Chain A
Amino acid sequence: MASEKRSRRSGSEDPESGHNYPYKILVVDDEPDLQPLILQRMRRPIRSGKYTFEFAQNGVEALEKLNAQPDIDMVVSDINMPQMDGLTLLDQIPSVNPNIRSVIISAYGDMQNIRTAMNRGAFDFVTKPLDFKDLRHTIARTLRNLVEWREALASRDQLVVLQNELDVASKIQQSILPTEFPQHERYGIHASMEPARNVGGDFYDILMLERDHVGLAIADVSDKGVPASLFMMSSRTLLKGTAIGLPQPGMVLSDVNDLLTEENETAMFVTVFYAVYSPMTGEVTYANGGHNPPLLIHADGSSELVPRVGGIALGILQGAPFAQGTLTLQPGDTLLLYTDGVTEAMNADNEEFGVERLQAIFQEEPPTSAQHTNEAVFRAVHSFAGGTPQSDDITCLTISRIQG
């Protein structure tokens, strides 16, 4: 039994470490001799403040005491008693206090009743005639189990609190992502993120810059959980602050990288694709910090990955260079920025969704708008994954140059 192991390791039989009041034990027996006997044989732990005893003559009286004194920790009960016997009492105890431990006193060898008592939730039993040494051990072991049980309950409650806080953190995180998109006669923008279970991971941003230019950022923080989500929040703030002041995507990533790398003990990093779109010309200037290359989709549904320009994930290497690339969206062209939650989504056969399936979506059905493009991606990924649980955030940020 685990509780015995623990006691041997600590070298102590004292069950009440961390317990700063005496344990209250209710003894239920119809023999009037038992009360003075227990008080006499247990006088040491009583005097030292370890235990206090309460007594009842039968089950009915015991339940009354349990109701009146919710601080009773354990019950030691005889089986055969008038009015209400010990086995019936066992059945009733959980409805009064589900965390009470019970020990049954049975006749020696009465396996039938012992089995019934254990089935009804008794923690242990002692036999008549009472061996007080055994009773002391049994009480100590029972109380140790009770203490562990209470600690487990407390940890569980703390976990629930923690989980609630994580849920709130996740909501805060999602609430910083824009959900309303600029309306413009020349272009359409839409973005969407489906978070996996944990906080952390992906973000995107859409920034209205000078001269009607639009900044588009998509990013994926390494790892999940609270540290990753803090890193994500600071990455996003640095990126936004830097991007508003600088017209060149390469310079933006370079500055953000240096800021993130400065005090990065945790070796977290973030992959970022950042582009500036000029609605007048359809020109897209971009830099890539280790992120999946976006997909450029043409009006006829054909597509290709945006040419690579090098650049490593942000937060790793101080002074890392970020080259820029340029491409032009023709009227009807769509640029799909996404995170690896899309291409690395798994199905039941452990296959990845992959870039080819992504391209196939639009060969079948060319994009009609930024929103439709994203919806088609999410639909295809869901149908591919089937019931396979989502292990990563899935994020799409799409801009389309409107035809005409």
Chain B
Amino acid sequence: MEINTERTDGVLVINAEGRIDGSNSAQFLESIQAVVSDDDNGVVLDFGGINYISSAGLRVILLLAKELRQKQTGFGVCSLSSSVKEIFTISGFDQIIAIFDSGADAVSSLK
């Protein structure tokens, strides 16, 4: 799975597209781990281009959240489509992962 990244005010914003499921979740995690730097103040997954995330994908988000918490790096997701937001709500992930409306919101909150 392809990811694009940019850094704004010390916050790493990661864009991904398509689906995150059991077939690509491990690769998704690896490609994110490869780009996150210890200097980042915060990491945001921009899900504007993601239309589906399975429980395997949620697990990747949980792993990332744990890793970043240990490094005391801020973490959140933004620009969720309504179906992905629904998955976050049902699973209760909205209670443990910061959700932002837009990348700009996320950056201003995590910088």
Contact = CB atoms under 8 A, between A and B. Distances in A.
Interface of A: 198, 220-224, 267-269, 271, 289-293, 310-313, 316-317, 320, 340, 344, 352, 391-392
B91 A317 contact: no
Interface SS of B by simple majority: helix
A292 B21 CA distance: 17
Given A224-B22, A291-B90, A313-B92, A267 B54 contact: no
Chain A: interface secondary structure?
loop
B95 interface: yes
Given A224-B22, A391-B21, A392-B54, A310 B92 contact: yes
Contacts of A316: 62, 92, 96
A256 to B, nearest CB: 15
A273 B6 CA distance: 40
B93 interface: yes
Given A223-B55, A267-B59, A313 B22 contact: no
B79 interface: no
B16 to A, nearest CB: 17
B32 interface: no
Contacts of B58: 222, 269, 313
B93 A313 contact: yes
A223 B25 contact: yes
A297 to B, nearest CB: 19
Contacts of B52: 344, 352
A392 B23 CA distance: 11
B94 to A, nearest CB: 9
Given A222-B58, A223-B59, A267-B62, A391 B91 contact: no
B63 interface: yes
Contact of A271 (B22, B62, B91): B91
Nearest to B94: A312
Nearest to A221: B55
Contacts of B68: none
